[in-house]
Amino acid sequence: MAKVIDWLKENRRLLFSLEITPPDRGRSMDDILSGIDPLMRFEPQFINVTYHQPHMVYEEKDGVITRRPRRKKPGTVGICSAIKNRFRVEPVPHLICGSFSRFETEDTLIDLHFLGIQNILALRGDPPPGQARFIPEKDGHEYAGQLVEQIARLNRGQYIDELEDPFPTRFCIGVAGYPEKHFESPNLEKDLQFLKAKVDAGADYVITQMFFDFRLYKEFVEKARAIGIQVPIIPGLKPLVNRRQIQTVPSAFHVNIPAELVALIEEARTKEQAFAGGIRYMAQLVERLLEFGVPGIHIFTMGQGHATRSLLDAVFSAPR
């Protein structure tokens, strides 16, 4: 089935999806596709492809300083098309507010529709490198909820310009949720109100930011349900397997790492022991989530194909 929400509603099997990042400019797409190949034996139903806002560089030529965008990781739409054709797996491109006007957003959505892509993860996106806060484009969206509204209107055949007998798109819309709240929100309760606004605008399901404590997900879901958010909430996970990750992930993604997981990695005598401890911890977390009855599992691979394979091997080989 082509849409995430259709799979969630009509299949008894657990939804399993991966998230990958386009290669840096100048690198081959084969770097990404070869990394996906070993994971295909686990039969993911969807593969998300991230999108990154360009950062601005200033160049001086003949005494004139010009400002131009430089995108480090282009190719999201092309990679989605390659995934669909090569692996016969439905891609889920990320679409962000940053660096897009409403008109450019509409053009991108039309292109994706023509490619037969029916799933979108709608995000505000982070500020570009070197920029302290998010600044929308002129005629762009400031919040992800506004982006969701535009996609939902296009699904009803409502384009920016009034057209005669326009075709409606058929996008399934996913959005992000934050069990530990978005770092810009004053508290979790306020952040949940923002999430509800995205769902009310037309979002079909939620994928959470990575977390490492089952209690955080459980309480997040309970609080979301209490305020009327009834769409599926898919947990997002990332295996942590070395010391560098436990040092960089908290600041990069604004998440906490439980003391038990930190100890497993920091107190390991070898890199192999640290890796095994991290996989064991994450596999136990997945088991608790499955017992809780989650609608699916989403894994942020982020170039860590070996760790993802090891986690999936541990989960799928476990007796049930």
Question: Which positions are annotated as active-site residues?
Answer: 19
**CA 305/CA 39 separation, integer angstroms:** 8
In angstroms, the CA 214 to CA 187 distance is 19
The HSE-up count of residue 183 (CA atoms within 13 Å, CB side) is 14
Q: List beta partners, residue 59.
A: 66
Token reading at 200: 């009310």
Other CB atoms within a 10 A radius of the CB of residue 194 amount to 19
Q: How far is it, in rounded angstroms, from Cα 68 to Cα 109? A: 24
Helix boundaries (H) for 49-187: 76-87, 102-114, 144-155
- On whether the CB atoms of residues 184 and 209 are closer than 8 A, the answer is no
- Phi then psi for residue 311, to 5 deg, are -65, -45
Give, as one character, the DSSP assignment of residue 147: H
**Cα 296 to Cα 236: distance, rounded to the nearest angstrom:** 9
Secondary structure element (H or E) that encloses residue 205, with its range: strand 205-210
For helices 271-292 and 259-266, the axis angle rounded to 10 degrees is: 150
Spatial separation of the C-alpha atoms in residues 299 and 293, rounded to whole Å:
17
What is the C-alpha separation between 9 and 39, in angstroms, rounded? 25
